[in-house]
Structure 1
Amino acid sequence: MAELSTYALRLALYLALMLLFGRTLFVRPALPRAVGLALPLIALALVIIDAVNRLSGVLGVAPLDLDHETAHWFLTGTPVGEAGLLRILAVLAMLPLLTFATPPRGLRRMALLALSATALASLSWNGHAAAGDGLGGTLRLLAGIAHLLAAGAWVGAIAAILQLALRPQGLRLRERTHALWQAAHGFALPGTIIVATLAMTGTYTYVDLGGSAQTLTGTAHGRWLLLKLALVAGMLGLAALHRWRLVPALATSIRGGWQPRPLRALRHSLACESALVLLVLACVAVLGTLDPLA
């Protein structure tokens, strides 16, 4: 049960910080104000709980038995603690910038992007990406950061497009459907770049850690990685379906007289892709706790 709760916390933390970054990157459509404020608060709570759990795990004591001096040592004297402190401060700094009634634009949006990217990138110190020294360790860390940011961008894009697809069409049916088509069609090039970044950084990190074809099938880490790759392949298949079939069908429906079927098909496909995202992040939550070579 304890392991399950640890994995659930890691899953929730990754999802919250990826959404925080990804929905700031893909700012349209704007999130409802309540959701926009709730997301960083949830992320902040998860970040603090994660830091407390990590410290209690390192010391082997209950969270309630931790004292201020020990917490100060952890947050300022260890790489993982320093990353956790940076994460907390970055999310805290986002809160006043999200209290405005208007959507983030200009310098405010750039500041939110920088802060959310910092919070997400700091998760690299929670896994294998920070396990290295010298130039090789730096390159591995940079690859881990790029991998996290690319994943956050993908999660944010899926969430934004799904939000467009699920909102009531009403009297502005054609206009809102056209906005959905624009968002889905416009994601083709960014999506290709994101997938290429994920593939290159993921492969580099695995090989750099000593992974091979044998460890893919001969270790628990490898088998979980294979499951993750299978789920990602499913997401790529759905992305191809969107690009080459569902999105063009939606465009045809807009131009040639409204048909509800293309919109329903895209909604269902996006919902499936969102479910696969959660399963991929569940695999990531487990992978970060396993030795790649054992």
Structure 2
Amino acid sequence: MIVRFGLYLDLMILFGAPLFGIYSPQPADHRRAALHTLRALYAGAALVGLLLSALALAALTASMSGVPLLEVDWSAAAMLVRETSIGWAWLVRIAALGLFIIVVALSHPMRGPSAGLLTLLGGVALATLAWTGHGAMDEGLTGIVHVSADIFHLLAAGAWIAAIFALGTLLVRAHRSMSRDQAEYLHRALARFAAVGSIAVALLIVTGLVNSWVLVGLSGLATIGTNLYLQLLAIKLLLFIGMLALAALNRFRITPALEEALRRGDQTQALRRLRKSLVVEASLGVAILGLVAWLGMLMPPSAVG
């Protein structure tokens, strides 16, 4: 479960961070100073993704073979990669992460074409996780709809989660420097994220409903008192509602308050309120990813009759 959680978080950052750079470009005077740090962070995250993918493959092979992780048969792992959809998805992820590292090393990861390519590669790597979930168990039209919903659900979540961490980074920079320019840039980034966040929320709601219909259905709701999967799903929904409430608070109360504070030249209190909100929102997001990793290891009501 820890490996699954790590993969979700890592690949969401690799997709959402370059995407954030596209719709909220960095100020020109910070690009050169941040380039080496950003390259190291991107390459490091991609390497972590490769390591976690290898561990996930080993764990899956060990589970299917009924042996401890340290005794896994790598010939069985190779057969799993060659002969299953999960294996092909794994290969695509490895290729996408490898290309991600090459692009980071050879280009400017904060500029348009490179940022777009990194977003694409991160999105491909993230999308492959759909084949490690329950959607891969379905066949025919249901399977296509389910996997497609999983992919868009992952991408929307990645865009949101990564933006929270990116905004948090900008907030820390603004708070430490006490610079009006940094605070103004943070405000512009918040405004830019508003539209992207609305699209992400809409996608999460629609794809979440599709997945719930396929995995649970109306009849499955009757077993919520005894079914751990449904109970965890209910907790996830409550946490998601909490994130929605905080996002609405940021957009309609805290961001306008920051704008007004910038006009007055006293943004300290507004930045402090924003920091508290983003910390809670990020904590809820991480908790949701933990629940998703747990849910992926349980059988949904549709699979148990």
- TM-score, shorter chain, exceeding 0.5: yes
Identity of aligned residues (%): 38
1:151 maps to which of 157, 180, 197:
157
Distance 2:267 2:83 in 1: 61
2:263 maps to which of 251, 255, 259:
255
1:202 maps onto 2:204 in alignment: no
Task: Give 3-state SS (helix, strand or coil) of 2:217's partner.
Answer: coil
1:24 maps to which of 6, 14, 18:
18
In the TM superposition, residue 279 of structure 1 has moved relative to its aligned partner by 0.4
In the TM superposition, residue 81 of structure 1 has moved relative to its aligned partner by 1.6
1:124-273 equivalences in 2 (<5 Å): 124-169=130-175, 173-212=179-218, 213-273=221-281
Q: Deviations over 1:106-134 (max 9, x none)?
A: 33223222211111111011111222111
Distance 1:202 1:218 in 2: 22
Q: Which residue of the partner structure matches residue 9 of structure 1?
A: 3
Structure 2: where are the runs of 5+ without partners?
Answer: 27-33
In the TM superposition, residue 68 of structure 1 has moved relative to its aligned partner by 4.4
Confirm or deny: 8 A CA contact 1:211 1:292 kept in the other structure.
no
Letter in 2 for 1:129: G
Confirm or deny: 8 A CA contact 1:37 1:98 kept in the other structure.
yes
Distance 1:283 1:249 in 2: 33
Confirm or deny: 8 A CA contact 2:152 2:203 kept in the other structure.
yes
1:60 maps to which of 63, 66, 69:
66
Distance 1:154 1:218 in 2: 32
Q: Deviations over 1:183-235 (max 9, x none)?
A: 11222221111111101111111112243332444411110001001111111
In the TM superposition, residue 168 of structure 1 has moved relative to its aligned partner by 4.8
Task: Tell me whether 26-35 or 199-208 shows the greater mean CA deviation.
Answer: 26-35
CA 1:215–1:185 in 2, change beyond 3 Å: closer, same or farther? farther
Task: Tell me whether 213-222 or 7-16 shows the greater mean CA deviation.
Answer: 213-222
Confirm or deny: 8 A CA contact 2:16 2:160 kept in the other structure.
yes
Confirm or deny: 8 A CA contact 1:48 1:88 kept in the other structure.
no
Task: Give 3-state SS (helix, strand or coil) of 1:99's partner.
Answer: helix
Letter in 2 for 1:87: R
Distance 1:290 1:136 in 2: 20
Task: Give 3-state SS (helix, strand or coil) of 1:130's partner.
Answer: helix
Distance 2:227 2:217 in 1: 10
In the TM superposition, residue 67 of structure 1 has moved relative to its aligned partner by 4.2
1:105 maps onto 2:99 in alignment: no
Letter in 1 for 2:94: I
Q: TM-score scaled to structure 2, two decimals?
A: 0.89
Distance 1:85 1:56 in 2: 18
Q: How many residues align?
A: 288
Task: Give 3-state SS (helix, strand or coil) of 2:162's partner.
Answer: helix
Q: Deviations over 1:85-112 (max 9, x none)?
A: 2211211111111124733433322322
1:112-131 equivalences in 2 (<5 Å): 112-131=118-137
Distance 1:153 1:90 in 2: 18
Task: Tell me whether 181-190 or 143-152 shows the greater mean CA deviation.
Answer: 181-190
CA 1:229–1:208 in 2, change beyond 3 Å: closer, same or farther? same
Confirm or deny: 8 A CA contact 1:215 1:292 kept in the other structure.
no
Structure 1: where are the runs of 5+ without partners?
Answer: 1-6
Letter in 2 for 1:243: R
1:89 maps onto 2:95 in alignment: yes
